[in-house]
A and B are shown apart, each in its own frame.
Chain A
């Protein structure tokens, strides 16, 4: 993480309150440091948001937790690695070029997943889905391990390496691209859900599956589409994360937990909450890791989760069941 190149030039600011003005100085290096952290957190949080959105889409459509979702992200990361190696010669293909293929192939993967792990057992208690999705996740992890080995791999960057300096801030191309690509995908999803008939049908199924069927919506079709959307978002997140943080076959569990925490903090079942939760946990991770270590950051994240659950069990943006999207 870039924390260097700070200059000690202070900024002057004004205090407030009490009828007097007291000058104080915020060191410029503190401001720059905070801005750099915010940028890094935004990039990480944007990728986490894609993971969390996929997770919550399936959660709302099935009322069951997809414990294989983290492994779907891993599959997306390794798909990016594999696609990059298919290009002949030394031509480095930008991840942005691979993105449409990853979205399409992962959507197919998600549709297949729905047929294998959910639809045959959808009338059984949710615990059955927990088990089948865990099993599917293990199959993905072992399959990826058999194909690629256990060593960390890196997917191509979206638009190349390097970056720009803006004053004392360093803006990496990858971070900017992650933020833009994630914003486009999240915006696209919001448009799909709110402005199209398909989106309205998906939301109707999430809110009241029985009534959705009674107005002529085919629930099975909507479930398959939901899994496809979720896997496509997970695949995109896999591509984005696998460049900056590498990807190994065993990463699925941690990614799944991050999505789970984001959705729990944001509000179980809330799409806006999932994005907000993802940004919050990324900010927390980046800030704590910058002062201590990633290990401490992840440990404290779980402590924070307990605190949030204690004081606000419905999450920050929790919605009643009937209002879910």
Chain B
């Protein structure tokens, strides 16, 4: 078995001393995307923010053979972790093209190649190339946030609630794009909508009030949907 792409050991996340995620261990093997399921407040977003260096953590985080817990957020991104936060957070005053270009720290030719690939993945963005990001619909902003993350050609994509606030049809499109991305890029996907999430990931973690209560295959969750009930009961 190959070495995990991401391995966390005794990782906890806290805000101002208040714990959001209790110490947990898990690992992600390259090519095997994982979804983190759980109700609102379960700690999914906090876990992703901790991995990205945007929230205080204790414990060990090893990514691609490097201990990254002490690295800055920018250095983690440069090592190959990309983050699409809840609420998209595109750079609203910048154009679609600028949002994408700013995330590619490569030469002009390579940047253009990646831009073309992003527009091939999301043709709707190509049509809005010079529009300011704030002018886009929610679904288009989500596409832009994902495309922006992919401009760095990450090894690991941290996705936080990509379907949140989107119409079901749009959410389906976004998940379809994520499934295409998952063919080449490992995704760690935090999502409340289990059925959508399990379309992308073969493995799942279930969090409940900051604690890891299940780790296993997507098939097992499909067979035993009651696994999700404690998490949903918490909301």
- A interface list, Cβ under 8 A from B: 197, 200-201, 203-204, 207-208, 210-211, 213-219, 319-320, 322-325
Asked whether, in the complex, the Cβ of A215 is within 8 Å of the Cβ of B93, the reply is: no
Q: How far is the CA of A203 from the CA of B92 in the complex (A)?
A: 11
The 8 A-B pairs of least Cβ separation, nearest first, read A323-B93, A216-B77, A322-B92, A213-B73, A200-B102, A215-B103, A214-B83, A213-B74
In the complex, 6 of the A-B residue pairs with CB atoms within 8 angstroms, ordered by the A residue number, are A200-B101, A201-B102, A213-B73, A215-B148, A216-B152, A323-B92
Tell me the nearest residue of chain B to A194, going by C-beta. Answer: B98
Residue numbers in A under 8 Å from B91 (CB-CB): 203-204, 207-208, 211, 322
Distance in angstroms from A215 CB to nearest chain B CB is 4
Tell me the nearest residue of chain A to B145, going by C-beta. Answer: A211
Asked whether, in the complex, the Cβ of B93 is within 8 Å of the Cβ of A324, the reply is: yes
Asked whether, in the complex, the Cβ of B74 is within 8 Å of the Cβ of A217, the reply is: yes
Main DSSP-derived SS at the A contact region: helix
Residue numbers in A under 8 Å from B54 (CB-CB): 210, 213-214
Asked whether, in the complex, the Cβ of B73 is within 8 Å of the Cβ of A322, the reply is: no
User: Told that A214-B85, A215-B77 touch, could you supply 20 new A-B pairs with CB distance under 8 A?
Assistant: A197-B102, A200-B101, A200-B102, A201-B102, A203-B94, A203-B102, A207-B93, A208-B89, A210-B89, A213-B74, A214-B52, A214-B77, A214-B82, A214-B83, A215-B103, A215-B148, A215-B152, A216-B78, A218-B72, A323-B132
Tell me the nearest residue of chain B to A211, going by C-beta. Answer: B89
Residue numbers in B under 8 Å from A217 (CB-CB): 74, 102
Residue numbers in B under 8 Å from A215 (CB-CB): 77, 82, 102-103, 148-149, 151-152
- Known A197-B101, A200-B98, A323-B132: A213·B93 in contact at CB below 8 Å: no
Residue numbers in B under 8 Å from A325 (CB-CB): 93
Q: How far is the CA of A125 from the CA of B187 in the complex (A)?
A: 36
Interface string of B77-106 (1 = CB under 8 A from A): 110001101000101111000100111010
Q: How far is the CA of A215 from the CA of B91 in the complex (A)?
A: 11
Q: How far is the CA of A319 from the CA of B134 in the complex (A)?
A: 12
Tell me the nearest residue of chain A to B84, going by C-beta. Answer: A214
Asked whether, in the complex, the Cβ of A213 is within 8 Å of the Cβ of B77, the reply is: yes
Distance in angstroms from A310 CB to nearest chain B CB is 27
Partner of B92 from A197, A200, A207, A218 at Cβ < 8 Å: A207
Asked whether, in the complex, the Cβ of A219 is within 8 Å of the Cβ of B74, the reply is: yes
Asked whether, in the complex, the Cβ of A204 is within 8 Å of the Cβ of B102, the reply is: yes
Q: How far is the CA of A325 from the CA of B92 in the complex (A)?
A: 10
Distance in angstroms from B90 CB to nearest chain A CB is 8
Residue numbers in B under 8 Å from A208 (CB-CB): 89, 91
Asked whether, in the complex, the Cβ of B94 is within 8 Å of the Cβ of A204, the reply is: yes
Residue numbers in A under 8 Å from B101 (CB-CB): 197, 200
B88-142 contacts to A (CB < 8 Å): 89, 91-94, 98, 101-103, 105, 132, 134
Distance in angstroms from A223 CB to nearest chain B CB is 12
Distance in angstroms from B216 CB to nearest chain A CB is 29
Tell me the nearest residue of chain A to B52, going by C-beta. Answer: A214
Distance in angstroms from A44 CB to nearest chain B CB is 30
Distance in angstroms from A324 CB to nearest chain B CB is 6
Residue numbers in A under 8 Å from B52 (CB-CB): 214
Distance in angstroms from B149 CB to nearest chain A CB is 8
Distance in angstroms from A56 CB to nearest chain B CB is 14
Residue numbers in A under 8 Å from B152 (CB-CB): 215-216
Asked whether, in the complex, the Cβ of A218 is within 8 Å of the Cβ of B89, the reply is: no
Q: How far is the CA of A322 from the CA of B93 in the complex (A)?
A: 6
Partner of B73 from A201, A204, A214, A323 at Cβ < 8 Å: A214
Distance in angstroms from A321 CB to nearest chain B CB is 9
Residue numbers in A under 8 Å from B98 (CB-CB): 200, 203
Residue in B54, B92, B134 with the greatest tally of chain A CB atoms within 10 Å: B92
Partner of B74 from A216, A319, A323, A324 at Cβ < 8 Å: A216
Tell me the nearest residue of chain A to B79, going by C-beta. Answer: A216
Tell me the nearest residue of chain A to B93, going by C-beta. Answer: A323
- Known A200-B98, A203-B94: A323·B105 in contact at CB below 8 Å: no
Asked whether, in the complex, the Cβ of A319 is within 8 Å of the Cβ of B93, the reply is: yes
Residue numbers in B under 8 Å from A219 (CB-CB): 74
Residue in A203, A322, A324 with the greatest tally of chain B CB atoms within 10 Å: A322
Residue numbers in A under 8 Å from B92 (CB-CB): 207, 320, 322-323
Q: How far is the CA of A25 from the CA of B168 in the complex (A)?
A: 69
Q: How far is the CA of A323 from the CA of B54 in the complex (A)?
A: 23
Distance in angstroms from A122 CB to nearest chain B CB is 14
Residue numbers in B under 8 Å from A203 (CB-CB): 91, 93-94, 98, 102
Asked whether, in the complex, the Cβ of A211 is within 8 Å of the Cβ of B85, the reply is: yes
Interface string of B59-85 (1 = CB under 8 A from A): 000000000000011100110001101
Residue numbers in A under 8 Å from B74 (CB-CB): 213-214, 216-219
Q: How far is the CA of A96 from the CA of B82 in the complex (A)?
A: 46
Residue numbers in A under 8 Å from B94 (CB-CB): 200, 203-204, 207
